[in-house]
Amino acid sequence: MTTDYRSALSANPWLTASLVVALLLAMGVGLPEADDAAAETPVVARSGGLTIEIQEEVRAGEGFDVFVEGLVPGVSMELIIDSGYGLRRMVTSHDRSSATVNVTAFAGPASGLILITAVQGDRVATATTTIVPGPPVDPIDVYLGPRTVIADAEHFVMIVAVPEDNWGNPVSDETSVLFTTTRPNQVVETKQYGTEHLLAWYEVYSRTVSGRTRIATESGVAGAPERDFLEVADKPEPYALELVDPLLPADGQALITVVTDILADGFGNVMPDGTVVMLDARGATGIRRVFSQTIDGRGEFTLAVPDVPGDVTLVATASGVQSEPLELSFVTAVQSIEASIELGTELAMVHVGPVRSVRASFVPEGTLATVTAADGTVSTAPLSLGVGTAYFSLDADLQSVTVEVLGTEIRVRPS
Amino acid sequence: MSFPAISVPRPLKGRSTSTRQAAESLTLGATANGEVVAAPAAAEVADEARIPVRLRWAILCVWIFHGGLLLFRSYERTYDAYVHIFLADHYARDWFSTWDQRWYTGFTTVSYPPGTHMAVAALSKVTGDLRLSFAFLQVCALTLLTIGVYRFSRMWVHKEAASNAALLLVFSSAIAETVHVFGQLPTTWALAFLLNALPYLRKWAFEGRFVDLVSGTAVLAACTAGHHVTTLFGSVFFLGPVLAYGLLAQSRIPLADERSGGDPKLTHHVALGLIARRLRRAIPSFLRIGVLGIAALGALVLVVLPYWWWSATDPITQISIPHGSRKNFLVDRNIGLVFFVVPWGVMLLILPYALIRSTLDRKWPLAGSILLLTVLGTGGTTPIPRMMLGHAFDVLTLDRFTFWAAIQILPMGGLFVTSLEKGSVGEWFRQTGGHLLLRAVQIGFVVSIVMMALFSASLAQYRKFQPERIDTDPIVAFIEKDQHERWRFLTLGFGDQMAWLSAQTTATQVDGNYHSVRRLPELTSTSVERLEGAKYRGISGLGSLQQFLEVPEKYNLKYVFSNDQFYDPVLHFNGWQRLGPLENGIVIWERADIPPLPAELPTREVPPWQRIMWGTVPPTAIIAACVLLLWNLVGRPGIKPRFDTAAANRRLLIGPLRSLDRLLYRLQSDLPADSSTSRKTLWNVRLLERIRRRLGRPISTRRKLLRTAIWLIALGYPAFQFATSAAAAPTAIETVEQYYEDLDFRRWDDAYDALDPVTKPDPELWRLQISVRGGLLASYAKLDSMDLAVIEVVNDERVVVKADLNYLTAVNWYPIERIHTMLKRDGQWYIEPDPTEVTIPPDQLVRRTDVDYAIQGRRRVTSGNTELTDVQDRPELLLRSVDLVDVDGQPVIVGEVMNLDVDPGDITITGVLRNANDEIIGRYNATEEILHAIRPRETTPFLIRFEEVAAGTNLDFDPTDFTPLQLDDEVVSVEVYAKAVVTTGGLYRGLGVHEATVTATADGSYRLEGELRNDGVSEAVIPRILISFLDDSGRVLWVQNEYLEYSVRSQRRGGFSVELEDITGHRPSDIPIDKYHNGIAPSSGEIGIPPVLIPAPSGQPYSSIRVDVSTFLAE
């Protein structure tokens, strides 16, 4: 059957007028734009009458059908599915002007807007759909940092959870994530946050008890490995030094041990092991600085006693906080010094020793003996040979010498 | 098997001119205008084609002697073998690649002809072993070289002498050294092809057969594929004399259309005609030599065209690398031994004979070439090489000239052997001392040749050029583990084995073993050949090395494999952590916090057409050469054996050449015939005959005795001199000098013998006392120089000697002054022993508690990569103070950083200078003036100097002098970055400062003096003190770093005395400084600072001094 349109229009002016009005209305109001149409329906028309029809949402892990119309039978069509994670291409051939193509489920992450493009020859049509992620599954990725924080209730660490569904898709916004924090003193706190922009995060403020704080993370039935951080002591409160050993005589060799109080901050938290503590000594020891570190909250120092009697002031410093000074008074280590001078023709031989300590033994091997002649000539030699003696060869015209050992002096004249 | 006939000149002994001409015609085949003068008889040709017995022996000896040594991996101790193996590995991995990332942050391989490397690579596909392939190809090259020497010699001497020359080559000390000490494959390979190409090229020039040109050019192309320099210089020194000699011979052969009677005597009347006549005779040869030149140039250029292209378009400005061959061998005799005496070997004694004999034989082109090569090979001994070579003198390795000279003399050497065996030289010895002497000399000659070859081949055994063999498998395993190849590495103390290590991995390193292709300015601007052997270049070498160790992140340099503890101090004090030794004893050092290399490294491959050319042309040239050599060897099947040279010459004389020929003919046509019969025998022949007669003349017993006496004196006097010079008693100065040399080389017994026998302790005690005194000088230093002087003469038997010693260490050089009292006993000077330490520690057993750390992942054992959650947090750092100081116009950043964390940190402080455009104009790290590893809540001062890429024109720059940054722009802003990673090493704090005082010296300076007491349980091997100069508020104004020369044992003390730096000229800058750190000061208050240690002397710009102490601990 055929219709002569020209004859029909000329025969029916109302019909002609109606068509003209409709045309003008269409031009004046305007046709809906393609994007608007797509927003309302998942169908988008493109060149040459090729159209795609697809459902608005697809659940992750499920396949979906794409209905394509306007195909030229017998000509292959390429379907391109762009998920943002990657492209998938399918080439099909149909003997009809429409076809339904089944897109199998994505094996990996693909959530979000999916752009589907059908191409046949130079004709193209596109449509979009959204893949909705599934519920979170094990394990939730959890990140925490820093992993040490000062236990002063002011510093905090941040924990971030990234839940994903079974296919690796980030879960939908506002998915609930539960953080359970167990403090060092076993106090348990729970916080629940919804995901936002793929993440759920939580600022975990320290409390005032040092130790390890552990955080569990859950979302629905999904769990995560535990994350933890250390709450550590702040700078110590004022502290004192203590002499552990009895005060030994100043023989220049013996060692004494000095310890600090337990270094703890204002909340009673003990300084962590390994924190540097230094000790300064002034006085009979000269200027000294030795280093140690805290173990069980204490810094322990070993000091050699001075080689001259006198007072010594000790001050420790930990995290910039100085201790109260510790005053020590060292007594002489020498009980007696024997010395003699033998005058020869060319040289005078000064024999020093034995030098006995207050404990009636020889002073330590290697202790220096200093002989000062009347003209100011100074000679130094170590007392050695296991008998606490030393020999000095001086000029023969010697009148007297001063012998000094460990701060004790005697005057000797030729016999 | 047979060789094609090689036409040669016969010996001229006792022949008339006409006979000589006939003999020469054998060589040349035909006269210039085509008339065949003579042709070799069939018997002669057959004899010529037969391989002489001695040549067969020579080839067998090559296989046994050199093959045996190579089978036992003699190349492992050589200089270059592993470099060539590495390059072979490159082609084995990717045949068409021209860029290798593994060295120098990438280099192009078109910088070296690939022939030998590709051959090794191809063969390794069959053998499965690069080293075995290298050794096999070396034997092949030597075999071909032996044949080549025979063929080359046949162009100069008769068959018997040429065979002897081949035998001499096998036992040539030059070859032995080149193969078994230098590990050169391209040199032997290229020379083998060159010498085999020469007969063909010569035949082409004077006989005109095109197939000879093709054969010669193809073989020459194979030579270029192996080593282009051999082609270049070989054309001058080998081909040049051959052609020159041939042209001269050609010009003496009369043409058929010339007037008979020979050439007239040269006078000014006939000079023009004679010249014309001589020129005319050689016109075809000149023309062919021109063609030959083009062909040779083509073989030189086309085969390695990408190389020439690269040379022209990408020149690298490389500071000249010092080479021993450029030194004065009389001053540095060891170098002279290696680069002149050893390669020459016994041939040096034959040199005068060779020069005289070849001159008398009218082979002066050969004599001239030998003489020129000899002179060039003397390096800096005479000024002549520098004058001749000009700028090239500082680029070339001149030992190559000596090597070529030692090869080029072989024909005459073979002639000498013949003469010694059955000629006039042997006759002279027979006349002098009878058969006994003759046999003794002959045997002595052979023995000395063989012994010299053995000595040369095993020179590396006597004089260690390379460290002991390193098992690289554990290193390769480490590199391949846990993605360690994502960072660059550096080897120290590996010698050339570093190339073998690189050949086994795709990991990259900043150093390399092929300095010509370096691109980093830090390397190209210094004279240091390799970082891995930096200490052998003294201060300049260590300075170059430091530039890489101080800012390793710039090069993604994370690992150092050290085979030499000498470098331990510089590694430790620049923040490198010792991970421990591998099972092969190599110690791994790691620098924390180094970014990995990007996944894709930039490459600079040459264009595709060049890559295709590079991968196809050189191997094709080699294959073509081998095929042609074999084809020639089997008698050139497929072409006519006879060739009409006359016809070929006629074909050449066309057009202008024809006119020239006619012109020359007319010019010489009026020459009178020479009717003199007395001149038929040439002067040289007469002289030679006269010498021969004189040598072979019987002599009286008296003359025999006289000759023997002269020989004994000549040989015995040097030995006598040597013996008597060694017997003289050393002076006091010499005794001290020898003492320190013995100490430096750990010759303990000899050093002990220098001590006063009356007062010295027993040897065991002395060794014990020496052994307990470790430290920088005792264990990590090399005596660089010493200056000795007698400062007091007490009496004839007691003097005082001052020794100013200069020690080289990896971190600094140490000038040390020592005063020694010398005592003379029984005519011998002795050193009074130093007093020994008599103090004893208080405790027998020391107990010290400490906190140890271990970094570990919290996963089960896995070969997977480190997980993010297993990576330690960065310790929190706080830049407490940072200031910019102007020091003599140079910006220096000083400051103080504190570790706020509870974890120990390995810290890196980086300073950045920016100009007004916010562009970075300077970037450097705090290097030695910082404690790199600090404990929790510990503070360290730091100082950042901005160092320029060192070196330039000064080849021996001093790293302690520092090369300041050249700032073209004004510094507008400064940034300081502090970052750290958790560490477990370098945290020893057992050292404490005792009795610290500041004293004024007479010259107005101040010294910090005191003692370090080691209260820990480990020996502080290299104690270091950091001196901070502080202002009133405790801000750091300056940091001074000092190393103590001796170690401090546990529970003992060691003194120090350090001159404080004068900082009065330092000017604080008000340029804003941005600080970047991850620590936040506690809210509870200001961070406390360590208290001052010592108030400053009055009048100083600082108010107090703080001292921090750390140490390097040995394993």
The per-residue pLDDT for A39 is 38
Radius of gyration of chain A (CA): 47
Name every chain B residue with its beta carbon within 8 A of the beta carbon of A244.
none
Going A106 to A109 to A110 to A112, the CA torsion angle's sign is positive
- pLDDT tens, B717-747? 877 776 666 556 788 999 999 999 888 888 8
CB atoms B989 and A145 under 8 Å = no
Cβ count near B654 (within 10 Å): 10
- pLDDT tens, A17-69? 555 555 554 444 444 443 433 333 444 545 568 899 999 999 999 999 999 99
Listed by number, the residues of chain B in 250-269 with a beta carbon closer than 8 Å to a beta carbon of chain A are none
Strands (E), B926-1071: 933-934, 939-945, 973-982, 991-1000, 1006-1014, 1022-1030, 1036-1043, 1053-1059, 1067-1068
Position A283 pLDDT exceeds 60? yes
Residue among A143, A148, A364 whose CB faces B902 most closely: A148
Listed by number, the residues of chain B in 783-842 with a beta carbon closer than 8 Å to a beta carbon of chain A are 837-840, 842
Rounded to two decimals, what is the model's pTM? 0.80
**Kind and range of the H or E run holding B685:** helix B683-695
Q: Quick one: tokens of A201?
A: 């995060």
CB atoms B992 and A291 under 8 Å = yes
Name every chain A residue with its beta carbon within 8 A of the beta carbon of B938.
276
What is the rounded average pLDDT for all residues in chain B? 85
Give the Cα separation of B1052 and B991 in Å (integer).
10
In terms of DSSP bridges, do strands B781-795 and B577-581 run parallel, antiparallel, or are they unpaired? Answer: unpaired
| Helix B130-154 vs helix B186-207: crossing angle, to nearest 10 | 30
Give the Cα separation of A59 and B614 in Å (integer).
58
The per-residue pLDDT for B276 is 85
Give the Cα separation of A142 and B250 in Å (integer).
92
Residue of A319, A284, A317, A321 lying closest to A301 (CA atoms): A317
CB contact at 8 A, B1111 and B988: yes
The per-residue pLDDT for B416 is 94
Position B5 pLDDT exceeds 70? no
- Residues ≥6 apart with Cβ < 8 Å to B658: none
Residue B85 touches partner A, C-beta closer than 8 Å: no
Q: Tell me phi and psi for residue B751, to 5 degrees.
A: -65, -40
CB contact at 8 A, B1002 and B983: no
In terms of DSSP bridges, do strands A326-330 and A334-343 run parallel, antiparallel, or are they unpaired? Answer: unpaired
| Chain B nearest C-alpha distance from A271 (Å) | 9
Q: Quick one: tokens of B926?
A: 């705090």
Residue environment code for B675-693, b if the CB has 16+ CB neighbours within 10 A, otherwise e = eeeeeebeeebeebbeebe
Residue B851 touches partner A, C-beta closer than 8 Å: yes
CB atoms A382 and B839 under 8 Å = yes
Going B114 to B115 to B116 to B118, the CA torsion angle's sign is positive
Instruction: Quote the ipTM score.
Output: 0.77
The per-residue pLDDT for A268 is 95
Query: Is B1074 in a helix, a strand, or coil?
Result: strand
pLDDT bucket at B39, cuts 50 / 70 / 90: very low
- pLDDT tens, B73-126? 888 888 889 999 999 999 999 999 999 999 988 899 999 999 999 999 999 999
Query: Is A217 in a helix, a strand, or coil?
Result: strand
Residue B588 touches partner A, C-beta closer than 8 Å: no
The per-residue pLDDT for B950 is 52
**DSSP category for residue B978:** E
Give the Cα separation of B942 and B961 in Å (integer).
19
The per-residue pLDDT for A24 is 52
**DSSP category for residue B467:** P
Position A146 pLDDT exceeds 60? yes
CB atoms A272 and B1083 under 8 Å = no
pLDDT, average across residues B501-505: 94
CB contact at 8 A, A137 and A48: no
Give the Cα separation of A39 and B151 in Å (integer).
91
pLDDT bucket at B23, cuts 50 / 70 / 90: very low
| Chain A nearest C-alpha distance from B1089 (Å) | 5
CB contact at 8 A, B149 and B414: no
- Residues ≥6 apart with Cβ < 8 Å to B558: B484, B487, B488, B489, B552, B590, B591, B594, B596
| Chain B nearest C-alpha distance from A106 (Å) | 27
Residue of B549, B581, B577, B547 lying closest to B563 (CA atoms): B581
The per-residue pLDDT for A4 is 44
Residue B600 touches partner A, C-beta closer than 8 Å: no
Residue among A276, A288, A384 whose CB faces B838 most closely: A384
CB atoms B1082 and A235 under 8 Å = yes
Name every chain B residue with its beta carbon within 8 A of the beta carbon of A321.
1088
Give the Cα separation of A65 and B828 in Å (integer).
108
- pLDDT tens, B921-971? 889 999 999 999 999 989 999 999 987 655 444 444 454 555 666 777 788
CB atoms A295 and B849 under 8 Å = yes
Give the Cα separation of B766 and B783 in Å (integer).
21
The per-residue pLDDT for B1088 is 63
**Kind and range of the H or E run holding B69:** helix B67-71
Residue among B843, B937, B1080 whose CB faces A255 most closely: B843
| Bridge partners (DSSP) listed for residue B981 | B906
Residue of A99, A100, A95, A97 lying closest to A74 (CA atoms): A95
Residue B843 touches partner A, C-beta closer than 8 Å: yes
Cβ count near A295 (within 10 Å): 15
| Chain A nearest C-alpha distance from B1109 (Å) | 9
The per-residue pLDDT for B725 is 62
The per-residue pLDDT for B12 is 36
- pLDDT tens, B386-396? 888 888 888 78
Q: Quick one: tokens of B791?
A: 């400062």
CB atoms B1088 and A322 under 8 Å = yes
The per-residue pLDDT for B396 is 82
| Chain B nearest C-alpha distance from A149 (Å) | 8
Q: Which residue of B has its CA nearest to A141?
A: B869
Helix, strand, coil distribution of chain A in percent, nearest 5: 10, 50, 40
DSSP code string of B86-144: HHHHHHHH-TT--EE-SSTT-EEGGGS--HHHHHHHHHHHHHS-HHHHHHHHHHHHHHH
**Ramachandran area for residue B46 (φ above 0: left; ψ -120 to 50: alpha; else beta):** alpha
Give the Cα separation of B611 and A302 in Å (integer).
70
State the amino acid at position B121 in one-letter form: A
Residue among A145, A274, A287 whose CB faces B873 most closely: A145
Residue of B935, B940, B959 lying closest to B948 (CA atoms): B959
Give the Cα separation of B652 and B658 in Å (integer).
8
- pLDDT tens, B979-1034? 999 998 889 989 999 989 999 988 889 999 999 999 999 999 999 999 999 998 88
Name every chain B residue with its beta carbon within 8 A of the beta carbon of A275.
902, 935-937
- pLDDT tens, B555-608? 999 999 999 888 888 899 999 999 889 999 999 999 988 999 998 888 889 999
Q: Quick one: tokens of A379?
A: 């000679």
Give the Cα separation of B420 and A344 in Å (integer).
81
Position B238 pLDDT exceeds 80? yes
State the amino acid at position B356 in one-letter form: I
Give the Cα separation of B498 and B469 in Å (integer).
11
Alpha-helical runs (H) found in B458-537: 459-462, 473-480, 497-503, 521-524
In terms of DSSP bridges, do strands A57-59 and A123-132 run parallel, antiparallel, or are they unpaired? Answer: parallel
Name every chain B residue with its beta carbon within 8 A of the beta carbon of A156.
none
CB contact at 8 A, B101 and B603: yes
The per-residue pLDDT for B527 is 65
Residue among A234, A321, A366 whose CB faces B838 most closely: A366
Question: Of the ranges A91-95, B50-54, B656-660, B987-991, which one carries the lowest mean pLDDT score?
Answer: B656-660
Cβ count near B435 (within 10 Å): 10
pLDDT bucket at B58, cuts 50 / 70 / 90: very high
State the amino acid at position B8 in one-letter form: V
The per-residue pLDDT for A14 is 57
Residue B873 touches partner A, C-beta closer than 8 Å: yes
pLDDT, average across residues A366-371: 88
Question: Of the ranges A364-378, B353-367, B931-945, which one carries the lowest mean pLDDT score?
Answer: A364-378
- pLDDT tens, B884-909? 999 988 899 999 999 988 899 999 99
Question: Of the ranges A354-363, B596-605, B696-705, which one carries the lowest mean pLDDT score?
Answer: B696-705
Q: Tell me phi and psi for residue A309, to 5 degrees.
A: -70, 155
Residue among A143, A272, A286 whose CB faces B902 most closely: A272
The per-residue pLDDT for B643 is 78
The per-residue pLDDT for A9 is 46
**Kind and range of the H or E run holding B443:** helix B424-457
Residue among A155, A254, A293 whose CB faces B935 most closely: A293
Query: Is B28 in a helix, a strand, or coil?
Result: helix
